[in-house]
């Protein structure tokens, strides 16, 4: 039930569930690859806090890093967002089917299929 895929999904969503991290993602998605220090400049928290957030984002594989001289640049990995979309689509689809089942069972009592229970 709680296999590795679902755990990875939860990790991704967890990484997205913080305003500071969302702001970090917005920054590197609009301005390109940035260092932890650069990201901390416009932020209201310290550089070390940003570094921690970057580690969370990286463990969720939403960003990657690359050593560039004496600084470390963090960049987006947008391909991971497809997994998130897949989850959303799956849930929505299941929900639509559940609604459809409910609707048909209400509008049309249909004793044949009803007798299955």
Partner DNA sequence: CTCACGTGCAACCAAGAGGTTGCATTTACG
Partner DNA sequence: CGTAAATGCAACCTCTTGGTTGCACGTGAG
Binding region for its own copies (CB under 8 A): 1-2, 6-7, 9-19, 22-23, 25-26, 29-32, 76, 78, 81, 84-85, 88, 91-92, 94-99, 101-102
CB of 62 to DNA, least distance (A): 13
For 78, 104, 105, 108, 110, the CA distances from 114, given in Å and listed in that order, are: 46, 11, 8, 10, 6
CB of 24 to its own copies, least distance (A): 11
Which residue pairs from 48-51 have beta carbons closer than 8 angstroms and sit at least 24 positions apart in sequence? 49/20, 50/20, 50/24
Q: Which does 76 bind (CB under 5 to 8 A by kind): DNA, its own copies, none?
A: its own copies
CB of 112 to its own copies, least distance (A): 21
Query: Alpha-carbon distance 64 to 96, whole Å?
Result: 36
User: What residues between 11 and 50 interact with DNA by CB under 7 A?
Assistant: 17-18, 20, 35-38, 45-49
Region for residue 66 given its phi and psi (left: phi exceeds 0; alpha: psi -120 to 50; beta: otherwise): beta
User: What residues between 49 and 88 interact with DNA by CB under 7 A?
Assistant: 49, 51-53, 56, 69-72
């Amino acid at each position: 039930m709680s296999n590795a895929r679902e755990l990875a999904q939860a990790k991704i969503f967890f990484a997205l569930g913080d305003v500071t991290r969302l702001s970090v993602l917005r920054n590197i998605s609009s301005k390109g690859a940035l260092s932890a220090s650069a990201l901390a400049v416009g932020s209201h928290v310290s550089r070390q806090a940003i570094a921690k957030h970057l580690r969370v984002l990286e463990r969720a594989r939403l960003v990657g890093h690359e050593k560039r001289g004496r600084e470390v640049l963090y960049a987006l990995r947008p391909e991971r967002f497809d997994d998130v979309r897949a989850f959303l689509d799956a849930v929505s689809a299941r929900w639509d089917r559940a609604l459809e089942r409910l609707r048909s069972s209400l509008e049309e009592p249909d004793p044949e299929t009803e007798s299955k229970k």
